[in-house]
Structure 1
Amino acid sequence: MFGNIECLLLTVMAYDRYMAICNPLHYPLVMNRKVCVQLVSACWITGVPVEIGQTCQIFSLPFCRSNQINHYFCDIPPVLKLACGDIFLNEMMVFTVAVLFVMIPFLMILGSYIKITSTILKLPLATGRAKAFSTCSSHVMVVTLFFGSGIITYLRPKSKNSSRTDKFFSLFYTIVTPMFNPLIYTLRNKDVLMALRKLLP
């Protein structure tokens, strides 16, 4: 559920960057407090019911195998491996949700950054370009880490030996990316950079 919501929030952040760089004069009007609250609320209202429905559907399946999940946490694909009977519909639901909450947001982010890059390259001054690129750099790093591992985990073809790979990549979007988020975003702060320079000889 939180993974789906994060995908949507990263998409909203990409739209925010798009408005700030491609339509800077309209930015204060379009991205006002009310719109920001509505966008964040829409992320939660969309993400929560979908995952609650999917979880209910999965736990209505019959389970007759071991109750030990071969994973770090109770993720849907490892739970499905323990179910008895036909799980094709459930696997298609997992794939559909992954496309809706991972692939489509990723493509929307990619589209916004294509527009942003096109706008930045048209800027006459190199300093303006550097400032615009630095505005997006932290978001691009987080998107790459989070969506890269999510796409590899949920949208690649499954094999019998994929559980170790799934566990490895799930660490990225559940632990590594959230752990690096504060570091990635604060490195743009001038005060933090100055403090780091004083600490390092």
Structure 2
Amino acid sequence: MDLLGSIMSSMDKPPSLSEKERLLIKKRKEETEKRQAAEKQRLKKFKERVESKFVSHFQDSANIMLKFEPMDQIYRSIVHEAAESAGLLSYAFGTDGVDRYVRVYRKENAPCEDELAARRRGDPWNEQIKQQLIEKRRLVKLEEAEAINRKPEKFTPNSNYRDKYVHLIGQEAALEAAKKTETNKTYGFVPSENKKDVRSIEQTMADIRAKKRLKVNHEATETPSNN
């Protein structure tokens, strides 16, 4: 301890302040405290004015919203605090440091999400715009409901084979053609027996040769004998 005490005593002590310096520091401190007290009093009076404005404005049932001029953040926070204490709703819109302001509403007349979104974008908003949006949404829902309930219409051809070709091939022929070309209900195609020759190649060639022989014999029968 003796060594430590000797070391401490040998160290240079901070220079003592002169009386003039002490007075200057004291004066600065008093000025700072005075400014802080004045700012606190100014904010208190601002809050009192806001609260008084709420009472005078909203005592009229026709007034459902109150808009404040753009102000700094500390004043906006006072408006928000006073609105909450008064049972009101408050919202800030605009760009901070430029034109940010506060709107205060009655709780029973709270702004809808469409209004909040519009004001945050800086778009205009009024009762006419609100009603237009409501009507637009109503029509959209109505169209969606109609689309869901709408049944597909049964296709009915404007004409059929018989009516289309009756003037060309006659009434009876048209009826017969319509029967032969009736659509297969299972696959939606004309039956294969109406579309292609189902005979084999051998049968087809045999039929052709038989027809040729029949034709030759017929011609030979009809040709007169030279004897």
Shorter-normalised TM range: under 0.3
Relative to the length of structure 2, the TM-score reads 0.24
**With CA pairs under 8 Å and 6+ residues apart, which has the higher RCO, 1 or 2?**
1
Higher strand share: 2
Report the TM-score, using the length of structure 1 for normalisation.
0.27
Higher-Rg structure is 2
